[in-house]
Amino acid sequence: MVIIQTKRLVLRDFNEDDWEAVHEYASDPEVVRYMEWGPNTEEETRNFIKRAISHQNEKPRRNFTLAIVLKSEGKLIGGCGIVVSDPENRQGYIGYCLNRNFWGKGYATEVAEALVKFGFERLNLHRIFATCDPKNLASARVLEKVGMKLEGHLREHKFAKGKWRDSLLYAILDYEWKKLVEK
Ligand SMILES: CC(C)(COP(=O)(O)OP(=O)(O)OC[C@H]1O[C@@H](n2cnc3c(N)ncnc32)[C@H](O)[C@@H]1OP(=O)(O)O)[C@@H](O)C(=O)NCCC(=O)NCCS
């Protein structure tokens, strides 16, 4: 069972009861605009939760898809994750998605910081990366705020929702992160 505490949030493993709170944001067209998935049907959201739960007992565990819960209200306000995509080279990536009612309060930055810390300290990663649509300015800003560097603009990187989409690639290395947290 994974539980990551931050100042205002708890990142924890999903359970089946989380379905409704996830569907609240996963069915919102504004939230999923730059995602490869969504807006979800109820079945798609239930399948997402099932997939997330199915990773919980993997050994070694490589996929940590976690719920974002607001400590003050106990409300599930989003989902996030870190995935060890290449164990031999100690590479992984992060992602996050928040209910629109909770945007603009620094929560995604808090989530990304915690995932990066978890990736370096607990998963022993060397490089953590993330991609986002170049039009997703808020997400790019979050990645910059956690100290990731822009490594490139990937042309027609993903075919999603009927068209080819570019991605920005951001990453941070373990020693860069150590320098940042030692400051
Ligand atoms: C992207 C997302 C996670 C950001 O969450 P959030 O909690 O609002 O993010 P934060 O408050 O931590 O930080 C957002 C930053 O982006 C900035 N920002 C927001 N909208 C912006 C815009 N249109 N242009 C430029 N900057 C913008 C904010 O000002 C803030 O930066 P600052 O602290 O320097 O002022 C949220 O909008 C979301 O869930 N979007 C839908 C899902 C998604 O796109 N996920 C990422 C996929 S790559």
- How far, in Å, is the centroid of ligand 1 from the Cα of 158? 21
**What pLDDT digit, counting tens, does each position of 61-74 carry?**
999 999 999 999 99
What is the residue with the minimal CA distance to atom 19 of ligand 1? 138
Residue 58, pLDDT > 90, answer yes
Strands (E), the chain: 3-5, 9-13, 63-70, 75-86, 91-98, 127-132, 149-160, 163-173
> Across-strand partners of 95?
81
Burial class (CB within 10 angstroms; exposed 0-12, middle 13-18, buried 19+) of 98: buried
Report the domain count for the chain.
Answer: 1
Query: What does pLDDT average to over the chain?
Result: 98
pLDDT of residue 183: 83
69 CB within 6 A, ligand 1: no
- How far, in Å, is the centroid of ligand 1 from the Cα of 134? 13
96 CB within 6 A, ligand 1: yes
pLDDT of residue 174: 98
Instruction: State phi, psi for 46 to the nearest 5 degrees.
Output: -60, -40
What is the residue with the minimal CA distance to atom 1 of ligand 1? 139
Spatial contact of 166 and 131, defined as CB atoms under 8 Å apart: no
- The residue segments making up the domain with residue 43 are 3-182
> Across-strand partners of 128?
92, 172
Relative to beta strand 63-70, strand 9-13 is antiparallel
107 CB within 6 A, ligand 1: yes
Instruction: Give the nearest ligand 1 atom to 97 CA.
Output: 39
**What pLDDT digit, counting tens, does each position of 125-164 carry?**
999 999 999 999 999 999 999 999 999 999 999 999 999 9
pTM attached to this predicted model: 0.98
143 CB within 6 A, ligand 1: no
Instruction: Give the nearest ligand 1 atom to 107 CA.
Output: 7
Residue 24, pLDDT > 90, answer yes
pLDDT of residue 122: 98
Looking up residue 44, the CATH number of its domain turns out to be 3.40.630.30
* H/E run at residue 120: helix 107-121
* Residues with Cβ within 8 Å of residue 33, at least 6 apart in sequence: 136
Residue 100, pLDDT > 90, answer yes
Residue 80, pLDDT > 90, answer yes
138 CB within 6 A, ligand 1: yes
- Quote the percentage of the chain above a pLDDT of 90: 99
